[in-house]
Structure 1
Amino acid sequence: MAVTIIRGNVPGYKGPEGTSSRQQQLVLECDRITAITPMTNSEPSLLDRGSPRDGDEDWISLGGCDLQINGALGLAFPDVTSEDGPKLDAISRYLWQAGIDEYLPTLVTTSLEKFRGALEVFEGFMTQQPPPQEAAQVLGLHLEGPCLNPQKRGAHPQEFLLPLSSETLEQVIGPFSNTVRLMTLAPELDPSGEAIAHLQSQGIHVSLGHSLANAAQANQAFDQGAHLVTHAFNAMPGLHHREPGLLGAALVRPEISCGVIADGEHICPTMLHLLLKAAADRLFLVSDALAPLGLGDGTYPWDSRQIQVTQGTARLPDGTLAGTTRSLLEGALNLVNWGLCDIETAISLATIAPRRALGRSSNLIGASARQLLRWRQVDGQWHCQRLIVEA
């Protein structure tokens, strides 16, 4: 049986005796990772380029997992119809090329008709999506709305916001609970907590966001089972020394994970640094990318409005920040290239932490070689790309 060796560093890896993630090698057999062992010189590495140790400072990881992505290649996910199967296929393949293994298509606030229509389309697509060796896999959907605080709706259309109740959730989700993986809501809209309990009974993760919840309201929701925060700092009050609010409550609870957008526009790099110092082990990166992802700057339709994309940042005509067209892995590279964290932390935030937030494994053993990313420093800047390994 042919064996391939890839030398490098594996983020988060601890050997059987607690050895560091540094200086490891992956053993591949028949396109699958069968072992991770301490690095040696006994076998040539796939990454060798003349010097037998050229690959030693490279990092090897699984592809990214994006829990908040609103569209790509011109298609906004709330707008999908039964005719868009080929476009969804193309988007999944595009994301795979961009280093993404898994994602949650995100439906922002829209009409009940569009919610139901999109859920039905994705339910069908998930049964026949292309294989993980060729395309990013849809794990389920993220519903960002419609149960959001109107005062923190951001770019979400006011006319489609709905009260938070079990009845509303039934109207939105209906028979597609198995297709919904995550829902963002404002907990102060339902002090009883019945809505969170309803979602949990259907196996749906609950994230708090687009909210004016104070710390007490946030902690009540966390006690009821919500365990994520949607795009920390965005669409919620900032930290205050007398009222820590939703984010402050989340940062001191070890079981709560917070999504973060690292494009440099949604959060100032200084505040990103603060988040990393406070809770790097409980953050995960999201792209929050919009439909123009992969198309470049310009003016694009967005529900009944338009967005202007300039240098990867999307805004409504009134200047409201709507999202970005930068990929998940760009955010990870930003963090390390800005000097806010080391490369291992940055990789983990895009690959390990999002999976952990959904209770998914990030173990490399058994993974396909075609899921691997190679992270490499060139002229002082970090880059990443797919590491294609032919069986």
Structure 2
Amino acid sequence: MTKLTAINNNLHIINARLPGYRGLQQICVEQGRIAQILPMREAISSTQSLDVAGDWVSLGGVDLQINGALGLAFPEIQAQDFSKLAAVCEFLWQQGVDGFLPTLVTTSIDNFQRSLAVIGEFMQKDEPQQAKILGVHLEGPFLNYHKRGAHPAEYLLPLTIDNVQRVVGDYASIVKVITLAPELDATGEAIAYLRSLGITISLSHSQATAKEAQRAFDRGATMVTHAFNAMPGLHHREPGLLGEAIVYPGVWCGLIADGQHVCPTMLKILLKASDYAQKIFLVSDALAPLGLPDGTYPWDTRQITVTSGTARLADSTLAGTTLPLLVGVQNLVSWNICDVESAIALATIAPRKAIHLPEFIGNWATQLLRWRWYETTKELTWCRLVASGEF
């Protein structure tokens, strides 16, 4: 597919299909940024145009739960790892990701503080052709012991304001999301405190009942981390945390579409019940071996074995994936779970909505992806639509 430069230039992209828009659209780029999206029937004069011939066009993906890549685990990041973190940002850009939340799984308070400090300093950089760090996702340490999954039990903490302050420290401004078990906060004081800091609260690693989840949503929780995983299953007499999330207005659920964390049939049920990208967004939940071949790798003080993109501990506990975010989009289409438009939106539009980012207007044209669906082979491919340095 053709790649053109729009940085510091004007470009008119025509005959594009965009998720959330009906019919063919034209994208007007001014000074490198998306300025307008208009139906093709509206005449616009332009000195340079790019006809995408009915292909889908979207912004790049946003990954709200990713634990590392290229061998770098975000909870173990050190001050000397700036070059490694930059390489991860470049790699994710090449994988079609515009922005992400480095996710810190349960670890020691010292590790939390060190990682937050390093990431916070790195966020002051703004390099082109790199996925941007949008903030940090703390997945723990306020999790239910019985639903901890691969999180080390020795670092789990009671959910109190004091412990939140110990973990977050002076870095509340860069903590975008925190995953917690709501049943650990019977009074609601900790959730109220986190909301006062502007942190989005996501529920998971929890045994919460539907009523307990409802109280947390009433108090301001707005997300669920890796739906189905590390929580009670849906039951016809006790819908649990996930059941309440599906019916509660304004609650978003992250979903891993690797075929291992959730079986395709349940993916389809959840997506249909939740109106697709109106309440669900895809995440990779990728671990540090993302971008590396299958094998055995260190993971905190333990080891994980990666086989065909799935990472497990020695006792077979599912630890995460090493598949890029947009593979989930391709999986949903190839498994006939949803149409191309819906699948693209789940990784590009929905996560932006979940954390209140602009969807199209004002973004750089270099963020645009071009998707092509091959009907005969049932294959969905993508590439960056424009690339700086070429005109």
Residue deviations 1:51-104, cap 9 Å, x none? xxxx33310011111000000000000000100011111101110111101100
Alignment partner of 2:17 out of 9, 15, 19 = 9
Structure 1 segment 183-222 matched on structure 2, within 5 A: 183-222=178-217
Q: Which amino acid aligns with 1:386?
A: R
Aligned to 1:336: 333
Contact 1:6 1:45 in 2 (8 A): no
Other structure's SS at 1:296 match: coil
Determine the C-alpha separation between the residues in 1 that align with 2:99 and 2:177: 14
Structural mapping, 1:167-246, within 5 Å: 167-246=162-241
| Corresponding residue number in structure 1 for 2:6 | none
SS of the residue aligned with 1:241? coil
Counterpart contact for 1:102–1:139, Cα < 8 Å: yes
Unaligned runs of 5+ in 1: 14-19, 49-54
Higher RCO (CA < 8 A, seq sep 6+):
2
Which aligned pairs between 1:91-130 and structure 2 lie closer than 5 A?
91-130=88-127
Using the aligned pairs only, state the percent identity.
58
Indicate how the Cα distance of structure 1 residues 44 and 297 shifts in structure 2: closer, same or farther if over 3 A, else same: farther
The residue identity in structure 1 corresponding to 2:290 is L
Q: Equivalent of 1:366, from 362, 367, 370?
A: 362
- Deviation string for 1:331-373 (max 9, x for gaps)? 01111111111111111110111011112221x2222110000
TM-score normalized by the length of structure 1: 0.93
Residue type at the aligned position of 1:191: A
Give a deviation string over 1:162-184, Cα, whole Å, max 9, x none.
11110110110111111111000
C-alpha contact 2:195 2:220 (8 A) present in aligned 1: yes
Give me the whole-angstrom Cα distance separating, in 1, the residues matched to 2:10 and 2:200: 42
The aligned counterpart of 1:17 is none
Aligned length: 375
Aligned partner of residue 272 in structure 1, secondary structure: helix
**Structure 1 counterpart of 2:373, which letter?**
Q
1:380 is aligned to 378
Counterpart in the other structure of 1:38: 39
Q: Is the 8 A contact 2:11 2:48 kept in 1?
A: no
1-side partners of 2:348 and 2:373: how far apart?
18
Alignment partner of 1:270 is 2:265: yes
Aligned residue identity for 2:254:
G
3-state SS of the aligned residue for 2:166?
Answer: helix
Contact 1:78/1:108 (8 A) holds in 2 = yes
Matched to 2:350, the amino acid is: A
- Rounded to whole Å, the distance in 2 between the matches of 1:240 and 1:136 is 39
Q: Quote the RMSD (CA, aligned, Å).
A: 1.6
